[in-house]
Structure 1
């Protein structure tokens, strides 16, 4: 542009143009670090995980994690935190429901198959006609509309509290499979992490991103309100499940363990033990009300197929 052209535009136009360029450069500089961090999260899949069921979700405190599962009734809005890099997952109970849930009153009482006294919850009959559609319409759809794209599906084995025969267990498992298929049919891009659900993996493994279980080394006894060490036999059984998931389905495995919130040494020790087994660790308090410990990048961890463990 010539000097005469600048003169015709006037000084004010030049100032505006320069200001626009500066704003553009600043915006790019601000966005690029966020995008770089988010690429870290997406490229590592599940990565470092956190489970937080507290009422006050401070998004910036979860930036070291790649995947964060939160209690959606906390009021947290993932749409307001797109600058933060964790993949936000909503906690969703499949096998049980409590009276505090907004959808509880809408559920036919014929769907209630029993109770779980330890958690003051009601066990849902997974074989009930209409349950898969209700689950997606009344539970998943509102969360999807709020911006959640990942769901942590809990209480998948609660049917075992009420199903007493092999035929009843098979019927309940088929019902859970129908729920997951309905969810993925309606929301194909939904990312799913299962909490246990080992028995249904043969029919749904291709629809999930990872499988979690609780208490490989440290556990929380809800009924007695105390922390305990996990018995060796229980740990070996869980490790056998982890091998099966890893070898047959090639899915990430997550272990959620528990220590007193003030005992950082306990958390660190268990994280290291879990990581050494090639399993994604997370260790926090028994109610998952505080931010616990994981690893951003699990180092020096051999795959489960190479770890020397008793079978």
Structure 2
């Protein structure tokens, strides 16, 4: 857990510096979502990405720690995104040992990963130089930023949440400052959009109709109240920011009817669907036919 903080807290210096730098960027370099043109997306975190299957989709999000590097630009029509966890870090990551112990704010038991203190002074630079830069060098020009709400696991009050949000905003802006043409898809992060929407390519979220419980190892139906909350956020994203929305749901890969019906329900709400198995270890491309 984070150490006690003083009673009067301000937005960290690094966050204010990064925010100030971006106020001077030309608006044309900040409109990341304006270029979006895609009807299909796949999320595959297995260890053997098959380029021929993944290339059937407009966008492909893969786990880069498998050693997979995307084809060179122009070799496929697909835009390739690397999965990047911002709010948490698994101890199996190559860069884990380089993270100072003081940056670890807590532990997520369900996914067995450490929660990062987003107010840590060097975190935005670490993210851009140690995590994003090597992936960019390997050919990834898009990044799926996950675990953007993990600070909620350790935040003690509204001021903690505000400071963590400022840290996340600084991370997103630092990535776009370092790589102005990078395409960023946020997994949720709805509360960050007022300050970051100019840098966002699309917004994704999980479990609209069908979800996956890692703790229980089973598929679950999403309660109506949870769905209503998500659809209200989707409406805000579309109405206020004009950003594309991607909905990721989960069905057993052998249950084609569940896959098909869930995709159709998502499409009917004018969102880009992907319905996969709970751990995204298989490519569900049959619905493209």
Determine if the TM-score, normalized by the shorter chain, exceeds 0.5: yes
Report whether the alignment pairs 1:233 with 2:209.
no
**Which residue, 93, 98, 106 being the options, matches 2:90?**
98
Q: How many residues align?
A: 256
Pairing 1:181–2:181 present: no
Residue of 163, 176, 179 corresponding to 1:171: 163
Pick one of 146, 154, 161 that aligns with 1:154.
Answer: 146
Q: 1:43 to 1:193 in 2, by over 3 A?
A: closer
Q: Residue in 1 aligned with 2:29?
A: none
Structure 2 CA distance for aligned equivalents of residues 106 and 115 of structure 1: 17
Equivalent residue number for residue 13 of structure 2 = none
Q: Structure 1 unaligned runs (5+)?
A: 1-41, 298-311
Which stretch shows the higher mean deviation, 197-206 or 74-83?
Answer: 74-83
Correspondence list, 1:270-289, <5 A: 270-289=262-281
Among candidates 42, 53, 69, match of residue 61 of structure 2: 69
Counterpart-to-counterpart distance in 1, 2:72 and 2:175: 25
Q: Distance in 2 between matches of 1:45 and 1:122?
A: 35
- Report the 3-state secondary structure (helix = DSSP H, G, I; strand = E; otherwise coil) of the residue aligned with 2:279: coil
Superposed displacement of residue 74, structure 1: 1.3
Alignment pair present for 1:142 and 2:103: no
| Distance in 1 of aligned mates of 2:35 and 2:130 | 32
- The residue that corresponds to 1:210 in the other structure is 202
Instruction: Give deviations 1:12-67, integer Å, cap 9, x for gaps.
Output: xxxxxxxxxxxxxxxxxxxxxxxxxxxxxx98623201000000011001222100
The structure carrying a bigger helix percent of its residues is 1
Structure number with higher relative contact order (C-alpha < 8 Å, ≥ 6 residues apart): 2
**What TM-score, normalized by structure 1, do the two folds share?**
0.80
Match of 1:6? none
- Contact 1:54–1:289 (Cα < 8 Å) also in 2: yes
RMSD between aligned residues: 1.7
2: distance between equivalents of 1:68 and 1:274? 18
Alignment of 1:1-16 (within 5 A): none
Q: Secondary structure at the match of 1:291?
A: coil
The equivalent of 1:221 in structure 2 is 213
Query: Could you tell me the TM-score, scaled by structure 2's length?
Result: 0.86
Consecutive unaligned residues in structure 2, runs of 5 or more: 1-33
User: What are the Cα deviations for residues 158-207 of structure 1, in whole angstroms up to 9, with x where unaligned?
Assistant: 00000020000000000000001111111000000000001111100110
Instruction: Judge conservation of contact 2:46–2:281 (CA < 8 Å) in 1.
Output: yes
